[in-house]
Structure 1
Amino acid sequence: MKKVSFRRSLFKLHSWLGLITGIFLILLGLSGSVLVFRTELDHFFNRDLLHVSSLEKTVPDQVLKNCYQTVISRYPNLDGIAWVNPDAGAGEAYNFRIYFNDARLMTYDLALISFDPNTGVILREGPASQFTPSFIEWLFQFHFSFQLGIPGAALTAIFGTTMLLSLLTGAIVYRKMLWKVLSFRVKINRKNWRTISSDLHRIVGVWSLLLNAVIFFTGFWMNMFAFKAKTWQNEMASTKANTPISVSPDQMYRRALSAMPDLEPTYVYLPTQPGRKFEVRGYTKGQLKLWGSGNSVRMDQQTGEILQISRFAEKPLGERIEATFFPLHVGNFGGLAVKILYVLIGLTPGLLAVTGFLLWWRRVRK
């Protein structure tokens, strides 16, 4: 009797978790599926906007410096600037993420600006809270904050935990079905919409269980910053005026690559505040992308001195495990096949929410 009562309570919890958060899980899943091909879609839909001129004479030694000076002249109070595609090929625009602060809690302060590296011409510019720079950039910010600032980032983290609870309770409630589904002994009964939704809910839930658990846990973990009091305090404080770097960023970039010759950069941080440091991050040649871009070179932007050379292999075990969370969340570690799998998995929370609702509605009608 107690077993039945416990299972019934778990089933109710499983149902209500899905009903309460269903619409949000649909939005997170759909946006996540699109963002798997974030870079490719941005290039495809903005190929005319991001057209780069072909010039015989360029000034590569000054490209970063020119872009940096343009940004700080347009935004006098910044938290920082990041060159987010240092791995851009020939003929591609240089994309920079701008970190600013409007001292409002309900806005997440990111912007995007893209340059033609040959001419220094701005190709696009705007906050990620608008469609102006790119719909994909807007969707990226929506995915982790619902465009609701720090409270929104905390909300998505909470939904990550509710999904994990939903997966756990579902696995316990349907534990006798796990092996049957995995051994292909459960088929979809097409008798009516009730049997279809019931079997589909079980089959999809079982096959997507592990990867959904990984995705939602890593999403929760990466948004844990939204639960820190300091994060909320910083968001409400106005950013101080820029303190420009003294050493040419192009010079520091080349020196960082010389200090770590096997580094394949994916991110370059250009500080605008004295407490931050110039940093180049990326993979090392031959490294599995699953381990993340945990290699870096940090430098003092006022003197050009190398402060730290950090390699992924030398980091503590906990940091190495944490470095895998971003690749595991976005699916950028295994080529096209893995990306397609992540797109399909991203659709499953919505499908589970819909079929779960149909099952709940059937019981209500009864």
Structure 2
Amino acid sequence: MSISRWSRWIRQPQTVPLRRMIYQIHLWLGLVLGLYVMVISVSGSAVVFRRELTRWFLPKEGLQNVEYPLTLIVLEWFVDLHDNLLAGNIGRDLNGIGAILFLIMVLTGAFVWWPGVRQWKQSLFVCHSQHRLFSWHLHSVIGFWSLLFLLGWSVTGIYFIFPGPFEWFFDVFDKDLSDFKRPGEGLLLVLVDLHFGRFGGLGIRTLWVIFGLLPTVLFITGVRIWWKRVQIKWCKSWDT
């Protein structure tokens, strides 16, 4: 991007052709991946309290004589849905591809979010606006405040399915392969804990449940934005 285009993107990003192209990528990825995102979003929130519920319903001793509770059966179904899309290894690989595409969608969304240097502060909150623009503002605000969560979940989701590239990357910086210690192993473990919200108590897990549902809200508002644009085009075509 040249200096003049960069300056235009800083001040008036809507006039930059690259932004329009990235917007189209973000839009169609969102529409194509929408149902997948909803499935991962809802199932992920459903299993946040998996450990606590398992301890609650299953005693520590005598498991062989205990009937597996229906609640845990449903919970494990959500786990399989979240991890493997109920399709075994094939579903797991598809889940990894979905995580990669989701990461691209998040990054393009972050690029499209930038409203210009004069308006970026107003884009941090949902202000009183025209009804037809409410979905756009809500989508933008939720996307901004959940950006780090979405990036973290997508990257760790890719790592869970395709760990090889991550391990190779950290091995590059490992000068002694005989000590069985990777320089980035601690970081990966932190990312895993962040993915599941395992680093805090009840408050953190509750927050993870709420934020885990935000991708579903983003999909719904994104569809509303797209549908309004379709309606506008139809109205213009009828007028002509």
The TM-score bracket by the shorter chain reads: 0.7 to 0.9
The residue aligned with 1:291 is none
2:159 equivalent in structure 1: 221
Structure 1 vs Structure 2 CA RMSD: 3.1
- The aligned residue for residue 51 of structure 2 is 39
Q: What corresponds to 1:93 in structure 2?
A: 60
Q: State the alpha-carbon separation in 1 of the partners of residues 114 and 48 from structure 2.
A: 31
Contact 1:150 1:226 in 2 (8 A): no
Determine if contact 1:36/1:342 at 8 Å carries over to the other structure.
yes
Paired residues of 2:136 and 2:225 also in contact (CA < 8 A): yes
The C-alpha deviation readout for 1:169-204, integer Å capped at 9, x for no partner, is: 111111236996678763343542x32211110000
User: What is the distance in 1 between the residues matched to 2:48 and 2:72?
Assistant: 19
Partner of 1:332: 198
How many angstroms does 1:325 deviate by?
2.7
For 1:187 and 1:32, the matched residues in 2 are separated by 26
Tell me the equivalent position of 1:277: none
Partner of 1:30: 42
Higher relative contact order (CA 8 A, sep 6+): 2
Length, aligned pairs only? 207
Identity fraction in percent? 31
Output one character per residue of 1:4-31: Cα deviation in whole Å (capped at 9) or x when no partner.
Answer: 2211110000000100001110110111
User: Structure 1's 4 and 134: CA in aligned 2 closer, same or farther, altered over 3 A?
Assistant: same
Quote the residue 1:173 is aligned against.
112
Counterparts of 1:148-297 in structure 2 under 5 Å?
148-176=87-115, 186-189=125-128, 191-192=130-131, 194-224=132-162
Q: Tell me the distance in 1 between the aligned counterparts of 2:19 and 2:123.
A: 25
Q: Larger Rg: 1 or 2?
A: 1
Deviations 1:303-350 (A, max 9, x none): xxxxxxx9xxx8331222222232111011111222122111111110
Distance in structure 2 (CA, Å) of the matches to 1:6 and 1:161: 21
2-side partners of 1:35 and 1:177: how far apart? 39
Amino acid in the other structure paired with 1:189: H
Bigger proportion of residues as strand:
1
Task: Answer whether contact 1:42 1:136 (CA < 8 A) is retained.
Answer: no
Code of the residue aligned with 2:204 in structure 1: it is: V
8 Å contact from structure 2 (residues 114, 120) kept in 1: no
The normalised TM-score by structure 2 is 0.75
Deviations 1:139-163 (A, max 9, x none): 1111011110111001111111111
Q: Scaled by the length of structure 1, what TM-score is found?
A: 0.51
User: In 1, distance between residues paired with 2:147 and 2:226?
Assistant: 20
In structure 2, relative to structure 1, the CA distance for the partners of 1:322 and 1:351 (3 Å cut) is same
Does the C-alpha gap of structure 1 residues 349 and 181 become closer, same or farther in structure 2, counting only changes over 3 Å?
A: farther
Q: What whole-Å deviation, never above 9, does each CA across 1:248-269 have from its counterpart, x for those lacking one? A: xxxxxxxxxxxxxxxxxxxxxx
SS at match of 1:134: helix
Query: Which residue is 2:181 aligned to?
Result: 315
Q: Which has the higher helix share?
A: 2
Say which of 5, 9, 18 aligns to 2:30: 18
Paired with 1:341 and 1:203, the residues of 2 have a C-alpha distance of 17
- Judging changes above 3 Å, is the alpha-carbon distance between structure 1 residues 124 and 343 closer, same or farther for their aligned structure 2 residues? same
The residue type equivalent to 2:150 in the other structure is: N
Distance 1:179-1:24 versus aligned 2 partners, 3 A rule: farther
Q: 1:176 to 1:132 in 2, by over 3 A?
A: closer
1:120-159 alignment runs, 5 A limit = 121-124=64-67, 134-159=73-98
